[in-house]
Structure 1
Amino acid sequence: MLTSNGYQLDERRLGRLVAVPDGERADRDVLRRRLWRDGYLFLTRLLDPATVLEFRRYYFAKTGLADADGRPREVERGAYRAVLFGEIVPGPEYDALCRQQALRGWFEWFFGAEVFLHRRKIIRHTAPGENGIGTATQAHYDLVYLREGTDQVLSAWIPLGDCPVERGGLTYLEGSHHRVRREEAEGRLKRPAASITADLPALAEQYDARWLVADYAAGDVVIHTAHTVHAALDNVDQVMRLSTDIRYQPAALDVDARWQHDWHDQDGL
């Protein structure tokens, strides 16, 4: 049984995220068409798993949130937040993870241009058993938070460690970017920036679409457009879920200046 924010997903409205086949990985035109069609690119093993797992160990050692196996520990919230926003988010280890050649180089190749990484980069963790509205990322599409820049920005969601479905990974609403693009073109812009809903089953019915899920592994990356509706599942495993989401775009296009500061959960974005 899969849930998100406590809402149980309907099995009739579930599907699997499809990874890009190895034979298509080096064909940029095919990948661009695939991204336009599906709204996402599921790239397995894009990153070195050892690099990802090294950062995972660093994160939990610094914050104390989990042991080496990812099992949760009790920590004082104030101390944890001080480390997260004062040391980890602005730190060189996190920056190196997000700018590693396997990632930045892929975006340069895909865009065929110099790229720009938004400074506001987000790290999320979900402990086992957390549920109810407000615990998992609610359904949304990224453009509503990036109105002051180009809509050609692409997000990379990176599981920091293995993330089987039960650990609460990201889920994508199949084909949702086509509807969002139409509504955006018609001027039905969602303002102010806000999530669509926590009720994923109802949204699937509204869109007549499936929520796509996957068992992610360390080294996997999912690239999605700014129009693709996505959300997170609840963690019903015994291990902490850790992930990051970052955004690249062609450097020559307009940049949302609000996203050029280190992330903080009280920054109003």
Structure 2
Amino acid sequence: MATEVQPTPTPAHELTYEHGQLPKLRSNYGAHLDPTTVAWMRETPADTPLSEMRRRFEQEGYIFVKHLLPREDVLSVRSAYFTHLSPTGILAPGTSPVEGIFNPLADPVAHHGNGGTDLPSEQDKVERLISAHTHPTYLSFLEHPALRTFVQNFMSWSSDILIKRTLLRHNVPQGFSTGIHYDKIFLRAGEADFLTAWVPIGDCTAEGGGLMYLENSTDVGMAMEEAFASRAKDLSPEERINGFNVNMAKDGQLSHDAVELTSAIEAGVHGGEKRKRRWLVGDYEAGDAVFHNPYMIHGAVKNEDVEGRIRLSTDLRFYEEGSALDERWMRDVWRPGDGL
């Protein structure tokens, strides 16, 4: 008797959410995303050959590397961060710092950690956000050999430079999330291309405030940047490289409404090839990392984690040593009002 041929399963990154299967996802403002416009990111195991990783990165604009870092090393950073912030009342009573469960009685607005203008009003909380960037556990993590060796090998660099102004951000449930943007907006002064690593510090489900990427959006980001540069040609050199100049939104973001932005892109308002694009999301685990190019459009999902977990992550930008990097980002660690 002939063996029945089993159908090939659909790759995970091509599966869209079925209605009701998972909570709908949204950005800061606007409607929830239609489930048919959301799909899983392609997952790439850490032991995948570098040639295949590079092919995926070139084709898709990002690479979602699973289990790149030891889980326990990532969780130690999470524990240290929320121990550092615990005096602010951010954590639910009776929970541990490594869990990072938001205090249900606290006001989300009072515990912003996104940086820029999205800051708590209490100065003590702001100072703790600043000093977290120089916490010994975090600084040690930035030099993690698994991360730094991967970057050098993946990019074929003999040596890398991690810019000093890293971003260590938390996102509380129902708080204000990172808006939608591409990274070149904020690093325009350097001529060289850079590589961004977004590292979730702890587990983060699809609805837990992690990043979402607009599918195949590199061409749109490049078209937007070309248009911004054209409109800025009469500005001073300092203003042209400013991510908050008169041609930009006040916070440098493209939008805080994913549905509205997608509609505008599909209508050809922002340039780039007209086609349907989905928002790609992931179920992130401690130890994962996503790498993306300077023009890939992305932003955070609003944190609606059912367990009340606070999303913690770090944004890291790498250049090849000796390249023309954006020196503004080498002056100091993140500080509010530094213009970047």
The alignment's TM-score, normalised by the length of structure 2, stands at: 0.72
Checking the alignment, whether the CA contact within 8 Å between 1:17 and 1:214 is kept in structure 2 is yes
1:197 — aligned with what? 255
1:106 — aligned with what? 150
Q: Distance in 1 between matches of 2:292 and 2:320?
A: 15
Residue 75 (structure 2) pairs with residue 5 (structure 1): no
2:336 — aligned with what? 265
2:100 — aligned with what? 70
Encode CA deviations 1:61-85: one digit per residue, 9 max, x unaligned.
1111324121224588322222221
1:57 — aligned with what? 79
Shift of 1:183: 4.9
1:224 — aligned with what? 292
Checking the alignment, whether the CA contact within 8 Å between 1:45 and 1:220 is kept in structure 2 is yes
2:128 — aligned with what? 83
With 247-256 and 176-185 compared, the bigger mean Cα shift is at 176-185
SS at match of 1:231: strand
SS at match of 1:125: strand
Q: Distance in 1 between matches of 2:163 and 2:211?
A: 21
Q: Distance in 1 between matches of 2:82 and 2:137?
A: 13
Checking the alignment, whether the CA contact within 8 Å between 1:151 and 1:226 is kept in structure 2 is no
2:173 — aligned with what? 128
Shift of 1:151: 4.4
SS at match of 2:335: coil
Letter in 2 for 1:120: R
2:317 — aligned with what? 247
Match of 1:95 among 139, 160, 165: 139
1:134-213 matches, within 5 Å, as 135-184=176-225, 188=230, 192-193=242-243, 194-205=252-263, 206-207=265-266, 208-213=276-281
Distance 1:3 1:84, change over 3 A: same
Structure index of larger Rg: 2
Q: Distance in 2 between matches of 1:189 and 1:9?
A: 31
Count how many residue pairs are aligned between Structure 1 and Structure 2: 262
Checking the alignment, whether the CA contact within 8 Å between 1:172 and 1:212 is kept in structure 2 is yes
Q: Distance in 2 between matches of 1:126 and 1:155?
A: 19
Distance 1:150 1:96, change over 3 A: farther
Shift of 1:195: 1.1
Q: Distance in 2 between matches of 1:40 and 1:188?
A: 27
Identity of aligned residues (%): 33
SS at match of 1:20: strand
* Structure in which a larger fraction of residues adopt strand: 1
With 244-253 and 222-231 compared, the bigger mean Cα shift is at 244-253
Q: Distance in 1 between matches of 2:81 and 2:45?
A: 32
SS at match of 2:207: helix
Q: Distance in 2 between matches of 1:201 and 1:39?
A: 21
SS at match of 1:60: helix
Shift of 1:6: 3.2
Encode CA deviations 1:4-44: one digit per residue, 9 max, x unaligned.
10322122211111112566x232x3322211110001001
Checking the alignment, whether the CA contact within 8 Å between 2:46 and 2:65 is kept in structure 1 is no
Distance 1:63 1:189, change over 3 A: farther
Runs of at least 5 residues in structure 2 that lack an aligned partner in the other structure: 1-23, 112-119, 233-239, 244-251, 267-275
2:20 — aligned with what? none
Could you list the structure 1 runs, at least 4 aligned residues long, displaced by more than 3 angstroms after superposition. 73-77, 182-192
The alignment's TM-score, normalised by the length of structure 1, stands at: 0.90
RMSD between superposed Cα atoms in Å: 2.0
Distance 1:119 1:13, change over 3 A: same
Match of 2:59 among 18, 34, 37: 37
Shift of 1:129: 2.0
Runs of at least 5 residues in structure 1 that lack an aligned partner in the other structure: none
